[in-house]
């Protein structure tokens, strides 16, 4: 210590610590005092009441910068620092991206989510709190670090971002020319058998059918399982054939929905299934559900816009998109972020929620960080998969909450009363940022250029459109 003092690495301080206790009754006061005493004494800190000097003591703990008691102890810097009353964890590291500004001490929250136990995050806040804004900023900054992004966008609000960085934007709707075939299979990885790939996908597909056909009885479940296996087999896609040929136009192309219908119509007890499936193989729905895939996932930023999808079909479309994305993710190892905005659309159905949870849980193994964005915590937590998704997300961002949801939020994330009040009154773009075991108050801040790319403020968008028109002449 002497050496450190001589070289001024440490300093000596005269230090006093005073605590004022408030209570409504004398008994309450004593209880708190006893409690406090035992907490501190267990850490070998002994406190004494300021007998006959209560008034001076009170003045000391008021913000007057006066010490009338002058009961001091000598301490050097290191132990003294542990008494710093504003516990603010530094979330600054040498790598990663700027998430925002730490509201406790104005330091920068610099951080790489890929260094955490898992790279998943969840974001909860009311509409307009700045969820999408923050996520866009994050993806924009991660793109610069070589991380790719895939976004499921129910509002088509990431389109501009995709255009600005040269990414792909797929408008998924009944009328669009972009199709996803749910029968597509990923190529098996080296450690995977063709049989397992087929099996897993058939189980998934039964899940999709459950959503599409409005539930399946246990018998129908069994029939569907068999029918799917046969549908693949009819195209020679079986555990015995070479997976390299699967899905090739000149090899063994994947079946489509009407192939399943054909198989089902030959099976006994499947009449009702066939009837229900025909909604998707004939008529207006066929354009989307009964086509081979033609979506290219090669771009570094890929956005699936589903705003124009019929509300009724959205959970299915989401499920299909998510499966398609998962296929891409598992077939090539790469650092990626997957963003599911307005995730409650997916959480609406049991199978959708379960698939999302599966994705979140296995993401780490594929170098993937899944960001789940939700407005309504109540809805999210109602699903059996809500809590596990949160548990599997090392990163949590809470922004402005509504009085209707705050209690669930408080319970879920163990917030103190102050933190609760903070969240109720948080301005746009501010919130609490949990990373692993640490948390800070954060303000999300974008540069002017970034803001121009990611804003959703209608008047800003109009101005940008205007400017573009003028430039484009």
Ligand X SMILES: Nc1ncnc2c1ncn2[C@@H]1O[C@H](COP(=O)(O)OP(=O)(O)OP(=O)(O)O)[C@@H](O)[C@H]1O
Q: Is 132 in the site for Mg ion (CB under 5 A)?
A: yes
Report yes or no: 435 and 111 within 8 Å, Cβ to Cβ: yes
Number of residues written out for the chain? 473
130 or 186: whose CB is closer to ligand X? Answer: 130
Report yes or no: 129 and 400 within 8 Å, Cβ to Cβ: yes
Q: Which of residues 374-403 bind ligand X (CB under 6 A)?
A: 375
Report yes or no: 152 and 139 within 8 Å, Cβ to Cβ: no
- Residue 412 is given by DSSP the state H
Q: Is 305 in the site for ligand X (CB under 6 A)?
A: no
184 or 341: whose CB is closer to ligand X? Answer: 341
Q: Is 243 in the site for ligand X (CB under 6 A)?
A: no
132 or 354: whose CB is closer to Mg ion? Answer: 132
Q: Is 202 in the site for ligand X (CB under 6 A)?
A: no
Quick one: tokens of 429? 């773009």
Report yes or no: 429 and 130 within 8 Å, Cβ to Cβ: yes
Question: Which of 168, 201, 204, 455 is close enough to bind ligand X by CB under 6 A?
Answer: 455
Longest dimension (CA), the chain: 96
Question: Which of 1, 5, 457, 462 is close enough to bind ligand X by CB under 6 A?
Answer: 457
Total residues binding Mg ion (CB under 5 A): 1
Tell me how crowded residue 356 is: count the other CB atoms within 10 A of its CB: 23
Tell me how crowded residue 375 is: count the other CB atoms within 10 A of its CB: 20
Q: Which of residues 68-107 bind ligand X (CB under 6 A)?
A: none
What angle (nearest 5°) sits at the alpha carbon of residue 90, between those of residues 87 and 93? 170
Candidates 127-135, 301-309, 316-324, 357-365: pick the segment binding Mg ion (CB under 5 A). Answer: 127-135
Nearest approach in angstroms of CB 288 to ligand X is: 25
163 exposure class (CB count in 10 Å sphere: 0-12, 13-18, 19+): middle
Q: Which of residues 109-128 bind ligand X (CB under 6 A)?
A: 125, 127-128
402 or 410: whose CB is closer to ligand X? Answer: 402
- Report the distance separating Cα 154 and Cα 129, nearest Å: 17
The separation between CA 74 and the C-alpha centre of its own chain, rounded to angstroms, equals 48
Nearest approach in angstroms of CB 185 to Mg ion is: 33
Report yes or no: 363 and 120 within 8 Å, Cβ to Cβ: yes
Comparing every residue's Cβ against ligand X, the nearest one is 429
Nearest approach in angstroms of CB 414 to ligand X is: 23
Binding-site string for ligand X from residue 420 to residue 439, where x marks contact by CB under 6 A and - marks none: --------xx----------
Name the residues that contact Mg ion, by CB under 5 A.
132
Name the residues that contact ligand X, by CB under 6 A.
125, 127-133, 375, 428-429, 444, 446, 455-457
């Amino acid at each position: 210590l002497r050496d450190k003092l001589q070289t001024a690495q440490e300093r000596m301080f005269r230090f006093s610590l005073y605590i004022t206790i408030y209570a409504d009754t004398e008994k309450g006061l004593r209880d708190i005092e006893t409690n406090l005493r035992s907490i501190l004494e267990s850490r070998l800190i002994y406190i004494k009441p300021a007998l006959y000097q209560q008034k001076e003591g009170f003045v000391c703990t008021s913000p007057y910068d006066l010490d009338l008691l002058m009961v001091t102890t000598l301490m050097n810097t290191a132990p003294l620092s542990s008494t710093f009353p504003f516990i603010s964890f530094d979330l600054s590291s040498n790598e990663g991206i700027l998430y925002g500004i730490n509201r406790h001490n104005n330091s920068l929250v610099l951080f790489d989510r890929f260094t955490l136990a898992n790279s998943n995050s969840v974001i909860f806040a009311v509409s307009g709190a700045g969820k999408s804004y923050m996520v866009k900023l994050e993806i924009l900054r991660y793109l610069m670090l070589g991380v790719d992004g895939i976004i499921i966008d129910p509002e088509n609000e990431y389109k501009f971002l995709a255009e600005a960085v040269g990414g792909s934007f797929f408008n998924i709707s009944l009328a669009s020319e972009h199709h996803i075939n749910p029968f597509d299979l990923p190529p098996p990885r080296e450690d995977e058998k063709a049989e397992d790939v087929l099996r897993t996908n058939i189980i998934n597909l039964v899940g999709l059918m459950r959503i599409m056909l409005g539930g399946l009885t246990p018998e129908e479940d069994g029939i569907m399982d068999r029918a799917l296996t046969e549908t693949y087999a009819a195209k020679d896609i079986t555990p015995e054939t070479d997976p390299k040929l699967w899905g090739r136009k000149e090899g063994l192309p994947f079946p489509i929905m009407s192939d399943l219908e054909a198989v089902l119509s030959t099976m006994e007890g499947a009449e009702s299934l066939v009837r229900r499936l025909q909604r998707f193989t004939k008529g207006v729905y066929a354009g989307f559900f009964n086509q081979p895939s033609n979506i290219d996932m090669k771009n570094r930023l890929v956005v699936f816009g589903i705003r124009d999808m019929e509300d009724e079909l959205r959970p299915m479309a989401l499920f299909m998109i998510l499966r398609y994305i998962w296929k891409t993710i598992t077939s090539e190892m790469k650092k990626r972020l997957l963003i599911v905005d307005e995730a409650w659309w997916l959480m609406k159905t049991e199978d959708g929620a379960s698939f999302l949870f599966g994705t979140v849980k296995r993401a780490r193994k594929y170098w993937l960080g899944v960001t789940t964005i939700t407005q309504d915590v109540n809805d999210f937590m109602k699903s059996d998969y809500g809590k596990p998704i949160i548990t599997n997300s090392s990163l949590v961002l809470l922004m402005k909450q509504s009085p209707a949801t705050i209690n669930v939020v408080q319970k879920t994330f163990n917030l103190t009363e102050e933190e609760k009040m903070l969240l109720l009154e948080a301005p746009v773009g501010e919130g609490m940022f949990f990373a692993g075991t640490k948390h800070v108050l954060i303000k999300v801040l974008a540069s002017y250029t970034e803001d121009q790319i990611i804003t959703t403020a209608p008047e800003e968008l109009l101005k940008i459109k205007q400017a573009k028109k003028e430039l484009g002449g």
